[in-house]
Amino acid sequence: MMRLLWVGVLGLVLAAARPVVIKLGTVAPDGSPWQQLLKEMNQEWTRISGGAVTVRVYPGGVLGDETDLVKKMRIGQLHAVALSGAGMEHLEEAVTCLQLPLMFDSYEELDFVRDRVAPLLEARMAKKGYVVLNWSDAGWVMFFTKTAAQKPDDIRRMKLFTSATDSRTLELYKAAGFKPVPLATTDMQSGLTTGMIDAFDVPPLLALLNQWFPSAPNMVDLKWAPLVGATVVTTKVWETIPAEQRTPMAAVARELGIKYRARIRQMSEEAVGAMQKRGLNVVKLDDAAKAAWRKEAETVWPKLRGTLCPADVFDQVKSLRDTFRAQAGKGG
């Protein structure tokens, strides 16, 4: 009996001493600021845990696109993911409410709203078995086109890239009279080269890092929507880490999210200048074009509310944005 007891105790000790290796997938390119954030987070977590916790990052989409990464996390092949808002929608659709077209005019508006909505989004994801480690973003989504475009009707005449895994956005574009072409993000370049697509909408930094812009060298000077993102781990794996380590690990993950968010935003602004030096044409919009885009977005909002974006969260996001504008004396 005593021998069995000691064997049991020894087993518990060995289990407690066994290192926790968190497998994390992302489509962020190796060497990109998003991958650097994860690398620094791993270094800090290793330090805090005394080497008992490490993060093994699989960057550049080597394990598939964001839909694949979410699926792998759900079945336990991955323990964590770093996703853009497009991927986050597969975990919690309410994240879409932070990416509504022309809802925000500035990062200040976005941050004001996100800081107040994040607890709700995190609580919804916690119920599904996920812990949000930090929030990030990739800059403003802009339209890149083969031929110069100013108004929505100009884009309607083009074959517009949409993610092959995002059927709801595909249908929304169709309903709005656009010509969406569903493709995997990894097929973006070949789609541009072969003429399958004439336009795409991504943040400038991604257009530069992936070298997509030379094939669509015109950028509409319009902040269509912010592309947010987050790093998420399963509750099951997170809770295998001792509580006294989880608290400082969570804190440093948040700090790094804020640190790199500022860096990425600056890099996104600089990316436009870098692309201009290599032939990018930034198409400035006149007042009529701006009004056309505003009308386009506000026509889409009612279609998004209650479909892609839960009605209660939509209302909260818009109300918070209007509160920010009222406080800033800007008006809604």
| pLDDT digit string (tens) for the chain, length 332 residues | 445 444 344 333 434 457 899 999 999 988 899 999 999 999 999 999 999 999 999 998 899 889 899 999 999 999 999 999 888 988 999 999 999 999 999 999 999 999 999 999 999 999 999 999 999 988 999 999 999 999 999 999 999 999 877 777 787 788 788 999 999 888 899 999 999 999 999 999 999 999 999 999 999 999 999 999 999 999 999 999 999 999 999 999 999 999 999 999 999 999 999 999 999 999 999 999 999 999 999 998 998 999 889 999 999 999 999 999 999 886 65
Q: What is the pLDDT of residue 8?
A: 40
Only one residue has tokens 């005449």, namely 157
Q: What is the pLDDT of residue 234?
A: 98
Domain ranges of the chain: 21-327
* Length in residues, the chain: 332
Q: What is the pLDDT of residue 331?
A: 60
Q: What is the pLDDT of residue 223?
A: 95
Q: Give the C-alpha separation, 191 to 282, whole Å.
A: 22
Among 197, 260, 193, CA closest to 28: 260
Q: What is the pLDDT of residue 151?
A: 94
Q: What angle do CA 188, 228, 167 make, to 5 degrees?
A: 50
Q: Give the C-alpha separation, 23 to 44, whole Å.
A: 16
Q: What is the pLDDT of residue 10?
A: 36
SS3 205: helix
Alpha carbon separation from 135 to 14, 227, 265 (Å, rounded)? 35, 11, 13
Q: What is the pLDDT of residue 298?
A: 92
Which class would CATH give 21-327? alpha beta
Q: Give the C-alpha separation, 279 to 158, whole Å.
A: 21
Q: What is the pLDDT of residue 166?
A: 73
Alpha carbon separation from 108 to 113, 137, 139, 262, 327 (Å, rounded)? 9, 13, 13, 12, 12
First to last CA, the chain: 74
Which residues pair with residue 218 across a beta bridge? 145, 281
Quote the strand ranges of 77-128, DSSP E: 80-84
Q: What is the pLDDT of residue 173?
A: 84
